[in-house]
Amino acid sequence: MPDNQPDEERRPPPTDAQIRAAFMAFASMIRRFDAEGQLIRRLPLLMGKLGDLRHMAFEYEVRVTERLVPQDRAQADSGQEGSEDEKGRQDQ
C-alpha cells in the first residue's frame, strides 16, 4: 500500500524498543510533573507529546500490518481487481 511520500522521505516504522522507550519516557514525565505539582499546568506539553506518541504508534501499527498481509490480498484490497461497485454491477 503506497503512501504519498517519496521513498527517500519514508522512514522505517519505529521498533518495539523505540515505542517502549517513548511510552516509558512519557510515563516518567507524567510522574515527574505530578510530583512537582505541575501536572495540570503542563497539560499542553503533555497533550503535544501524547499526539507524537499516537502518531508513532499508528506508524508502527500500519507498517507492521502491511508486512502481515499477503501481497496478493494487498493488491486486491487496493483496487487492483476493481471496486465493489464495479463487482456489483457485473453480478447483475
- For the chain, how many structural domains are there in total? 1
Cβ neighbors of 7 (< 8 A, separation 6 or more) are none
What are the φ and ψ backbone dihedral angles of 54, each rounded to 5 degrees? -60, -40
- Residue 65 is predicted with a pLDDT of 82
Residue 1 above 80 pLDDT?
no
Q: Are 74 and 66 in contact (CB under 8 A)?
A: yes
Residue 23 forms part of a structural domain: yes
φ/ψ bin of 57: left (φ > 0), alpha (ψ from -120 to 50), beta (otherwise): alpha
pTM for this model (two decimals): 0.61
Residue 51 above 80 pLDDT?
yes
Rounded CA gap, 28 and 7, in Å?
35
Residue 57 forms part of a structural domain: yes
Residue 89 forms part of a structural domain: no
Residue 56 forms part of a structural domain: yes
Residue 88 forms part of a structural domain: no
Residue 52 forms part of a structural domain: yes
Residue 45 forms part of a structural domain: yes
Rounded CA gap, 43 and 33, in Å?
10
Full domain range(s) for residue 39: 14-74
Residue 19 forms part of a structural domain: yes
